[in-house]
Amino acid sequence: MYEIKTMNNIARQGLNVLSAKGMMIDNEAADPDGLLIRSAKLHDMEFGDKLLAIARAGVGTDNVPVDRCTEKGIVVFNTAGANAQAVVELAVCSLVLASRDLMEGAIWAKSLAGRDDVEAAVEAGKKAFVGPEIRGKTLGVIGLGAIGARIAKTAINLGMEVMGYDPYLSVEAAWHIHSDVRQAEDLASLYRACDYILIQIHHNEKTHHTLNAEAFAQMKDGVRVINLARGGLVDDDAMLAALASGKVARYVTDFPSNKLVGKKGVVAFPHLGASTPESEEKCAVMAAQELADYLQNGNIRNSVNMPALSLERAGEARLCAIHDNVPRMLNSFLDIIGSENINVEHMQNRARGQVAYTVIDLGSPITPALLERIQKVPHVRRVRVL
C-alpha cells in the first residue's frame, strides 16, 4: 500500500480518490511514497528514498525544487486546466477593472456615508472614474496554454480582437485555441498592436521579468496590463515607472508586493485566481488521480519535469525506468531482458529535454537479479517494477 502525505488542506473529494484507489493517507509519514500539496514550500525539505512523486493541486510549482526532483527521479505533477474556469472569470473581471476605475469609485462612494447630498455628489464626482469599454479593443495574450486559450476565447466572445503569442505551444493546447486568435510573430509585434496585455505563462529563470522596462517601451501609451500567473513575470520597479509616466494606464495583478500595494494605478488581488470551492475540488481530484495513476501504473500525465507517457497494462510485470536522454538506453534494457528469455509484451519511450522515461510490459515476472542489472546501467536515475 502506498503512503501519501498531504502538507496542506486538500479538498475532501481528492482525498476520497486516493482512499478509493487503496492509498493510505498518513500525514505523519516520515518517508512517504507520494506528496499531495498546494502551497507548501518544499525547497528546504529533505526527501526520503521512497518518495516517487509530488502532486501539486494547482498550476504553479515555484514552491517545489523541480530540478532536484528531476535528478532524483521524482515526478512532479501539476493540475493545469483544473482551475481554468476560476481564472478565466477573474480575467474577465480584471479586464473590466483595468478599463474602468471601479475599485476607486466604490471606495469613494463608500466615503460619502453620512452626507445628506449623496445623489448630487455622485453625479458630480463620477466623471473621475470614467474608463473605456473593452469591446473592439485588442487584447494580447502571452501564453496560450489551458488557461490562456480559454481567456482568449472568452475575450473574443466579449467583442475584443485577440492576438496571441506562445513559442512553447503544444499540439494538444493548439487544438483549444479559437480560430479568430491572431498569431503574433514575436512579443514586439504583440506589444505594438495591443491595448490590453495579459500574461499567462509559467515563471522560471527564462521568463523572469518578461514584462520589463524594455518591454514597456515597445507598448502603446496607456496600455492596460493584467498578470494572473505569477508575480515574478513582471518587474515591479519597471511597472511603477511605466505607471508614473502614463505608458501603462492600469496594472491588475493577483500578486501584491511591498512595492505595489497602495500605488496609484495598481489593482491588486490577494492571490484569488483559483480561490473558488469548485476549483479547489477539481484541482484536488486531478492531482490525486495523477498521483495514483503513476504510483500504481507508472503513467505520467501533466508532469512539469518528466515526459508524458501513458500505456495500458499488458503482461505480468511492468518495468518503469527514468533515465538520461542518451543513445542506446532502450537497447541496454532490452538486451538485459532478452538475456533472461523474457518476452516484451508492450513498451514506450518518451524524452523531455535531458531526461527520458521508458515503460516496458513483460510476459514474465522480473527477478531481483534482473532488476539489479538494470539499476546498474549507466545513466539510469530510477527503476520500479509494478
pLDDT band at 176 (very low <50, low <70, confident <90, very high): confident
* Residue 59 confidence (pLDDT): 84
φ and ψ at residue 330, rounded to 5 degrees:
-65, -40
CATH of the structural domain 84-268, one choice from 3.80.10.10, 3.40.50.720, 3.40.50.1220, 3.40.50.2300 = 3.40.50.720
Q: Tell me: pLDDT of 311 over 80.
A: yes
Gyration radius of the chain over CA positions: 25
CB-CB contact of 210 with 201 (8 Å): yes
- Sign (positive or negative) of CA dihedral 223, 228, 234, 236: positive
Whether the domain at 1-82+276-305 and the domain at 84-268 fall into the same CATH topology: yes
pLDDT tens, 36-47? 999 899 999 999
Q: For residue 77, report the phi and psi dihedrals to the nearest 5 degrees.
A: -105, 150
Per-residue confidence band for 231, with pLDDT thresholds at 50, 70 and 90: very high
Yes or no: say if 300 and 357 are a contact pair by the CB < 8 Å rule. yes
What is the C-alpha to C-alpha distance for residues 382 and 254, in angstroms, rounded to an integer?
Answer: 38
pLDDT digits (tens, 9 = 90+) for 237-291: 999 999 999 999 999 999 999 999 999 999 999 999 988 999 999 999 999 999 9
List of long-range contacts for 182-186, beta carbons under 8 Å, 24+ apart: 184/140
Q: What does the pLDDT average to over 341-345?
A: 94
What does the domain layout of the chain look like in residue ranges? 1-82+276-305, 84-268, 307-386
Phi/psi for 341 (5° steps) reads 60, 40
- Beta-carbon contacts of 235 under 8 Å, excluding residues fewer than 6 positions away, are 209, 211, 212, 213
Identify the pLDDT of residue 146. 83
pLDDT at 177 exceeding the cut of 70: yes
Region 349-373: mean pLDDT is 95
**Is residue 199 helix, strand or coil?**
strand
Among 53-57, 117-121, 140-144, 171-175, the minimum mean pLDDT is found in: 171-175
Residue 296: its pLDDT value, please? Answer: 97
pLDDT for 171 equals 63
pLDDT band at residue 22 under the 50/70/90 scheme = very high
Strand, helix or coil at 284? helix
**Residue whose C-alpha is closest to residue 16's, from 28, 7, 6:** 6
Which tens digit of pLDDT belongs to each residue from 92-104?
999 999 999 999 9
**What is d(CA 121, CA 32) in angstroms, rounded to the nearest whole number?**
63
Bridge partners (DSSP) listed for residue 5 = 35
Residue 178: the pLDDT is 87
Residue 173: its pLDDT value, please? 67
How many alpha carbons lie under 13 Å from residue 295 in its C-beta half-sphere? Answer: 27
CA dist., res. 312 & res. 113, Å (int): 65
C-alpha 301 chain-centroid distance: 13
In which element (H, E) is residue 374 found?
A: helix 368-375
Superfamily of domain 307-386: ACT domain (3.30.70.260)
CATH number listed for the domain at residues 1-82+276-305: 3.40.50.720
- Which helix (H) or strand (E) segment holds residue 162: the answer is strand 161-165
Please report the pLDDT score of residue 172 as a whole number. 66
Q: Has this prediction a pTM greater than 0.85?
A: no
